[in-house]
Amino acid sequence: MPPGLGQVGKSSLEMADLERKWRLIPPRTDDGAGNMALDQALLEAASRPGFPPTLRFFRWSPPALSMGRFQDLGDVDLEACRREGVDVVRRPTGGRTILHLDDFTYSLVLPRGFPFPARVVEAYLFICRGIVAAMNRLGLEVSLIEKGGVDYRRAGSACFASSTQADLRLGGRKICGSAQVRRAGALLQHGSVLMADHSELLFRLLRFPSAREREEALREYRRSCTTLEETGRALSWEEMASAFASGFEEAFRIRLEEGDLTPRERERWLGLVPAYRSPGWLANRQARSFA
């Protein structure tokens, strides 16, 4: 187990009796706006009484670049994205650009009153227990990125080229990155595990001052990141979903029960989709009240 995970997880679990039954939303495939709008809708719902801890796994169609909440839109070549058929969406969380193509994406929403740690880094460590358990079930020994990581400003526009204490590495290279946001006492954390290498496409979709700088950034990305494909393991998305479900059950000693959205959650989700598709939100000109 990575340093710190056991200690943080144990103290958090002892804070109170956790809800033993969590909701697992059935896997779904959506475009970028639909996926990110649903994460926000669930985060908002989590501040109201009766919301169960909720885990979901999802796919992206068409492939999408997701940008961090405060990232400059100028980092992305929108015309190149159109040519390649890649959607562009801004996340409700921070960080930099991620290409969602042959990746495995999870989202966990914990309700107001749930005893997750108050400090952001400790909350990452707490939630990472489930991810580590999932990867171990797949025979993959992952560890936390060491304190400090790689500065976003030095790493460039690609999120996986940077590292934080929210990230996991395999064989010394980053394989899973996550981001987190809180609102009204509730917490959303979502992240991706790279299953295949599409770094060449990713870097074609980003802007760089010169071709030389693009190639240098791509080489650094490939040195610092890895994928499940590179391990030689032919894992399907369904196998990943099964391992993640079992890993979270094991790590948190809970039972996942499949359950769909409530009517209120669905209504809010569908109402948010147009906002996430709007040019104003993509350009980060619209104010949003994220805690």
Residue 52: other Cβ atoms inside 10 A: 17
Which of 87, 85, 82, 80 has the alpha carbon at shortest distance from 66? 87
| Helix %, strand %, coil % of the chain (to 5) | 40, 25, 35
DSSP for 188-219, written as a single string: EEEEEEE-S--HHHHHHSB--SSHHHHHHHHH
Phi, psi of 172 (to 5 degrees): 85, 0
Q: How does pLDDT run along the chain (291 residues), one tens digit per residue?
A: 322 333 334 444 443 445 689 999 999 999 999 999 999 999 999 999 999 999 999 999 999 999 999 999 999 999 999 999 999 999 999 988 999 999 999 999 999 999 999 999 999 999 999 999 999 999 999 988 655 444 333 445 454 445 566 689 999 999 999 999 999 999 999 999 999 999 999 999 999 999 999 999 999 999 999 999 998 888 999 999 999 999 999 999 999 999 999 999 999 999 999 999 999 999 976 545 443
Tokens of 206: 């980003």
At residue 2, the pLDDT reads 29
Say which residue the tokens 């992240």 belong to.
191
3-state class (DSSP) for residue 110 = strand
**Rounded CA separation 255/260 (Å):** 16
Query: Would you call 184 helix, strand, or coil by DSSP?
Result: coil
Please name which of 1, 8, 26 lies closest in space to residue 118, comparing C-alpha atoms. 8
Token pair listed for 197: 């290498």
Helix runs in the chain, H state only: 5-13, 32-45, 78-84, 120-137, 152-155, 199-204, 211-224, 237-252, 263-277, 279-282
Please report, for the chain, the start and end positions of each structural domain, with discontinuous segments joined by +: 5-272
CA angle, residues 223, 58, 263, in degrees to nearest 5 = 150
Task: Verify cis geometry, omega within 30 degrees of 0, for the bond prior to 115.
Answer: no
Distances (CA, A) of 58 to 5, 34, 101, 133: 26, 11, 12, 19
DSSP collapsed to 3 states, 148-166: CCECHHHHCCEHHHCECCC
Active site residues: 159
Quick check: 38 and 9 in contact, CB under 8 A?
Answer: no
DSSP class of residue 60? E
Homologous superfamily (CATH) for 5-272: Bira Bifunctional Protein; Domain 2 (3.30.930.10)
Whether the CB-CB separation of 2 and 143 falls below 8 Å is answered with yes
| pLDDT of res. 164 | 60
φ/ψ bin of 185: left (φ > 0), alpha (ψ from -120 to 50), beta (otherwise) = left
Computed over its alpha carbons, how large is the radius of gyration of the chain? 18
Residue 64's beta-bridge partner residues?
Answer: 87, 100
Which residue is it, tokens 């990125």? 145
